């Protein structure tokens, strides 16, 4: 037993070092987007590649495999949900997937992404898909080679999806998405508002936005001992440790959309910050999947941040902050404004009713792309035709169409689905917690969010990556993924806004 304990200590130490490298690597990426002077980009790409390479080769080493082998009895003797058994179990799955990918292919994928990103940015700027086409073709080809490394999946796309949502298949996602599409397309058609959204296109000072935003975030759980908030171009959340959470945000000068971006990123941060300290410096010290992570960003952004009780407390403060811009805007107008349903070409600006349709469109196209059933050169036309079918609008150009997202340039094929899964899961969790915490509306109206946060921490956050996404969802809501709650939530909300 002593020998096995030593093996566990050694495994944990090795994984701790790899975690240090990965956290540092993502911090370099954080800096790249938040602070780095443009001149630093060449060396930065090398620094990131070096940390990637060392972390990957340390992880797929035979020594990790040997330690995992020696720890089989140790794992079996411990409860399934113990930190020890979970770390061994999850690491084994990670290791078995990672070591199937040749180092060369990994390097090719990383290099192709680095090269594609600036070309995509230029193509998007000029709305010129042909510029991006050869690099998209190459990224796709590399993903096909990646998929070929595995043989355990029902269909090729599953190998990609599994990187973001372990154990979830394309077939399962299709069932969920077909239901969403069937119900959301008519819902959007009937719920679309005419005219322009109230409380837009007026001056909101950046200082006022920063001040107000911090007041909200601090009530959500943000504190300066463990968090930072910095401005950037494309907001995201990152962390160096459980007590070093980095949110980024942006501000528009004529509307308050940036606020919702910050609430969204804060949700990601709360998940990372809520992981049990006993899991620090292990691969379990983060959210269990992209879908579960997104369920939390969407929950804090939408279920909380676009609710009427939330604004009962915060709207008077908002109006105090911007007395001129909001002089003629009553609480009800404001509530209507932040829940305005209107199809628009850009996913990240979409309202709650149309958002999933943007995602479904991408999920379907990705599968067709991977299968090779689509002529890549015709992708822009296909994109626009689907937009018309699902949302009733056509993007005026490729910049506002097929070129809008960074994901395909960065090689992230299989990622999009998790955005809509996150919406679905957020409502499932909300139904469950509302039943257990009946006073939430009153608490929100008093500016209190502690009980909500404590519930989510206890049921979800503290476990980090101990359980698979499916196990996690089962533990939190007592069942599998189900679009019912989200569709009910959406139907009710749209009815009250009509």
Q: Which residues bind a copy of itself (CB under 8 A)?
A: 16-17, 20-21, 23-24, 27-28, 31, 35-40, 42-44, 46-47, 50-51, 53-54, 224-228, 240-245, 280-281
| Under 8 Å between Cβ of 295 and 422 | yes
User: Which one, 138 or 276, has the nearer CB to a copy of itself?
Assistant: 276
Kindly tell me which of 245 and 338 has the beta carbon lying closer to a copy of itself: 245
Q: Catalytic residue among 75, 165, 213, 265, which? A: 265
Least separation in angstroms between residue 24's CB and a copy of itself is: 6
The pairing of strands 227-231 and 237-241 is unpaired
Please state the closest distance from residue 465 (CB atom) to a copy of itself, in A: 17
Please give the Cα distance from 188 to 191 (Å, whole number).
Answer: 5
Task: Compute the chain's Rg from CA coordinates.
Answer: 23
DSSP 49-105: HHHHHHHHHHHTSHHHHHHHHHTHHHHHTS-TTSHHHHHHHHHHHHHHHHTTS-HHH
Name every residue whose Cβ is closer than 8 Å to that of residue 129 and which is 6 or more positions away in sequence.
123, 379, 380, 398, 402, 403
Nearer to a copy of itself, 30 or 486 (CB): 30
Tokens of 203: 């001056």
**Rounded Cα distance, 409 and 116, in Å:** 5
The DSSP symbol for 300 reads: I
Q: Tell me the C-alpha distance between 162 and 413, whole Å.
A: 11
CB of 35 to a copy of itself, least distance (A): 6
DSSP β-bridge partners for residue 229: 247
Residue 397 per-residue DSSP state: S
Pairing of strands 237-241, 244-249: antiparallel
Least distance in Å: CB of 371 to a copy of itself? 39
Quick one: 18 or 259, whose CB is closer to a copy of itself? 18
Edge-to-edge strand ranges of the sheet holding 244-249:
227-231, 244-249, 237-241
Which of 267, 264, 248 minimizes the C-alpha distance to 210?
Answer: 248
Residue 157 or 227: which CB sits closer to a copy of itself?
227
Report the nearest approach of a copy of itself to the CB of residue 83 (Å). 17
| Beta carbon nearer to a copy of itself, 10 or 20 | 20
User: What secondary structure, in 3-state letters, does 158-214 show?
Assistant: HHHHHHHCCCCCHHHHHHHHHHHHHHHHHHHHHHCCCCCCCCCCCCCCHHHHHHHHH
The CB density around residue 263, as the number of other CB atoms within 10 Å, is 25
Number of C-beta neighbours around residue 71 at 10 A: 23
Q: Taking the chain, what is the end-to-end CA distance rounded to the nearest angstrom?
A: 66
Q: Which is nearer to a copy of itself, 57 or 126 (CB)?
A: 57
Please state the closest distance from residue 13 (CB atom) to a copy of itself, in A: 10
* Residue recorded with tokens 């945000």: 249
Using CB atoms within 10 Å of the CB of residue 76, give its burial: 0 to 12 exposed, 13 to 18 middle, 19+ buried.
Answer: exposed
Q: Is 172 a catalytic residue?
A: no
Among the listed residues 346, 349, 345, 322, the one whose alpha carbon sits nearest the alpha carbon of residue 334: 322
Q: Choose between 244 and 257: whose C-beta lies nearer to a copy of itself.
A: 244
Nearer to a copy of itself (CB atom), residue 21 or residue 409: 21
Residue 43 CB, shortest distance to a copy of itself, in Å, is 3
**Half-sphere exposure (Cβ direction) of 250: Cα atoms closer than 13 Å:** 10
Q: How far is the CB of 34 from a copy of itself (least distance, A)?
A: 10
Q: Closest approach of Cβ 225 to a copy of itself, in Å?
A: 5
In whole angstroms, how close is the CB of 271 to a copy of itself at the nearest point? Answer: 16
Catalytic positions, written as ranges: 265
């Amino acid at each position: 037993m002593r020998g096995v304990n030593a093996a566990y200590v050694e495994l944990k130490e090795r994984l701790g070092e790899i975690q240090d490298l990965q956290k540092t690597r993502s911090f370099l990426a954080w800096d790249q987007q938040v602070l780095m002077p443009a001149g630093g980009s060449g060396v930065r790409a090398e620094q990131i590649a070096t940390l990637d390479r060392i972390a990957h080769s340390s992880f797929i080493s035979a020594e990790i495999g040997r330690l995992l082998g020696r720890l089989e009895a140790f794992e079996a003797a411990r409860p399934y949900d113990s930190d020890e058994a979970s770390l061994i179990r999850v690491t084994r799955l990670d290791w078995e997937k990672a070591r199937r990918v040749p180092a060369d292919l990994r390097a090719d994928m990383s290099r192709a992404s680095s090269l594609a990103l600036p070309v995509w940015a230029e193509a998007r700027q000029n709305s010129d898909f042909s510029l991006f086409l050869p690099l998209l073709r190459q990224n796709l080809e590399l993903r096909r080679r990646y998929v070929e490394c595995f043989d355990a999946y029902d269909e090729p796309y599953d190998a990609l999806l599994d990187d973001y949502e372990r154990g979830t298949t394309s077939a399962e996602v299709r069932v969920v998405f077909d239901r969403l599409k069937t119900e959301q397309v008519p819902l959007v058609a009937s719920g679309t508002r005419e005219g322009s959204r109230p409380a837009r296109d007026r001056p909101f000072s950046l200082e006022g936005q920063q001040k107000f935003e911090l007041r909200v975030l601090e009530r959500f759980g943000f504190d300066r001992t463990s968090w930072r908030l910095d401005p950037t171009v494309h907001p995201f959340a990152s962390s160096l440790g459980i007590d070093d959470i980095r949110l980024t945000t942006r501000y528009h000068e004529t509307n308050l959309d940036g606020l919702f971006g910050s609430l969204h990123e804060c949700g990601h941060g709360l998940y990372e910050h809520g992981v049990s300290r006993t899991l620090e410096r292990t691969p379990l010290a983060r959210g269990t999947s992209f879908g579960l992570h997104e369920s939390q960003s969407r929950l804090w952004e939408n279920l909380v941040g676009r609710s009427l009780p939330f604004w009962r407390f915060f709207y008077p403060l908002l109006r105090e902050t911007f007395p001129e811009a909001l002089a003629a805007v009553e609480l009800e107008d404001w509530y209507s404004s932040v829940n305005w349903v209107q199809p628009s070409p850009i996913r990240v600006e979409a309202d709650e009713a149309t958002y999933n349709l943007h995602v479904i469109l991408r999920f379907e196209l990705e599968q067709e792309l991977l299968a090779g059933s689509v002529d890549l050169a015709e992708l822009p036309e296909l994109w626009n035709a689907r937009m018309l079918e699902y949302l009733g609008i056509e993007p005026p150009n490729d910049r506002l169409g097929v070129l809008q997202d960074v994901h395909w340039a960065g090689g992230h094929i299989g990622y999009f689905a998790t955005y809509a899964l996150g919406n679905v899961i957020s409502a499932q969790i909300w139904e469950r917690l509302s039943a257990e915490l009946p006073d939430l509306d009153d608490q929100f109206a008093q500016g209190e969010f502690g009980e909500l946060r404590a519930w989510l921490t206890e049921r979800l956050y503290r476990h980090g990556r101990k359980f698979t996404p499916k196990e996690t969802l089962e533990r939190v809501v007592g069942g599998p993924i189900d679009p019912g709650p989200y569709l009910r939530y959406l139907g009710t909300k749209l009815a009250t806004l009509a």
